[in-house]
Amino acid sequence: MTATSSAPTSYLTAANQMVSAANGIDYAYREVGDGTPPLVLLQHFRGNLDNWDRALIDALASARQVVTFDNVGVGGSSGTTPSTVAQMACDAVAFLEAMELDQVDLLGFSIGSFVAQELVLIRPSLVRRLVLASAAPQGAAGMHGWAQEVIAGVGKPTFNPEGYLGVFFAPSPASRDAGKQLLGRLAERTDDRDAPATWQTRQAQYDAVCAWGIPNHALLQRVSAIDVPVFVANGDSDPMTPALFLSARRPDPASAREDLPGFGARVPIPVQRRVRCRRRGIPQRRSLIKIARGEAYPTHARDPGD
C-alpha cells in the first residue's frame, strides 16, 4: 500500500494509507476532503475500502474530512476479524486513537451501524453525532440470521452481482438501474485497490450479526444511554436489517428517523435521495448528504408539543 500526506478531493484517487495502533494492528484507511470534525464511516457486511460509493464519499467530503477504514482483519488491515460487535467497536476505538481523533461524527452502515451503536456506548466522548443506516438495535425481534436468498446473494465465497442487486436494491426498474450504476462506479478504481475481504472475515462478521440479532428485550434498553443526536435511515424492505427504529431510545428532538418507501435495503446507497424527518420541530425535508455533513442536522430546539 502507498501513503500520502495530502487529502485528495475525490475518493476515486484517494491513496490507501496505513496507521499502526496500540493494539498491534496496522489499519488500512483512506481520507478525502477537509474540515472538522471528521466524519468516520463504518462499512457494511464484507465491505472494504473499495465498497464505498465514490459519489457518496465525494458528496460528503465537499465540506469536511471523511475517513474510511478497514477494521481488524478486513481488507488491507492486519489481524483476524473478531466475531463480536463489542470487539469490533473496541477495535474501531483503537483506530480513532491511532489517528489522534479526539471527537468525530460517525456514519455506520448495516453491521457498521451496530458497531457505531456499541462504540458510542463504550466511548461516548468520542462521538459528536451519529448517523445509522440500515440499522437495528441489539436484541431486536426479526434480526436473528438471514433468509437463504440473502445468503445466496451476498454470503457465498464469490461475488454475485445479481445477488448483490437483489439484496441491496428494490426490484423496481429505477432501483435496479441505480444498482447497476453503482456497480460500475465500484469498478472504476483500477490501481491501488484494497485487498478483498476474506472468508474468515465473512464468517466472523456473520457470527457477530447473528449474535447481535438474538432476541432479547432487555438489551433494547441499552440504546437509551445513547446521548448524542442520532439520525436513523432504513429502507422499507431491507432483507438483511428490518426497518426497525431504535425505539428503546428516549425521545429526543435532536434525533430523527426515516423509512424510505420503495427503496429496499441499503441506505445510504441513494446519494441524492431526500428524506423526510418525522419528528415534530424538525424541518420536513433533509438530504442524507447534508445530514451527514452536519449542514442539515436536526437541532436541539424542543418542540413545545413534545
CA distances from 144 to 45, 74, 87, 207, 273 (A): 15, 23, 19, 10, 29
Q: Identify the pLDDT of residue 161.
A: 86
Cα separation of 162 and 200, whole Å?
A: 23
pLDDT on residue 157: 86
Q: Residues 57, 11: contact at Cβ < 8 Å?
A: yes
Q: Is 200 left (phi over 0), alpha (psi -120 to 50) or beta?
A: alpha
pLDDT at 250: 45
Identity (one letter) of the amino acid at 275?
A: V
User: How much is the pLDDT for 118?
Assistant: 97
Show the domains of the chain with their CATH numbers: 11-293 (3.40.50.1820)
Distance CA 207, CA 73 (A): 15
CA distance 117 to 140: 14
Q: Closest Cα partner for 33 from 53, 9, 6?
A: 9
- Exposure b/e, 271-303, CB count within 10 A at least 16 = b: bebebebebebbeeebbbbebbbbebbbeeeee
Per-residue tens of pLDDT for the chain, all 306 residues: 334 445 788 999 999 999 999 999 999 999 999 999 999 999 998 999 999 999 999 999 998 999 999 999 999 999 999 999 999 999 999 999 999 999 999 999 989 999 999 999 999 999 999 999 888 889 988 778 777 777 777 878 888 888 888 888 888 888 888 889 989 999 999 999 999 999 999 999 999 999 999 999 899 889 889 999 998 887 766 776 766 544 444 445 455 544 444 444 444 444 334 433 433 333 333 344 444 444 444 433 333 233
Give the number of residues written for the chain. Answer: 306
Measured CA angle at 177 (ends 171, 178), to 5 deg: 100
Q: How many CA atoms lie within 13 A of 244 on its CB side?
A: 22
| CA dist., res. 161 & res. 239, Å (int) | 16
Nearest to 231 by CA among 160, 183, 294: 294
pLDDT of residue 261: 46
* Per-residue cell: 123: 466511548
For 255, other C-beta atoms within 10 Å of its C-beta total: 23
**Which letter does DSSP use for residue 223 in this model?**
G
pTM for this one? 0.81
Q: Please name which of 105, 121, 92 lies closest in space to residue 33, comparing C-alpha atoms.
A: 105
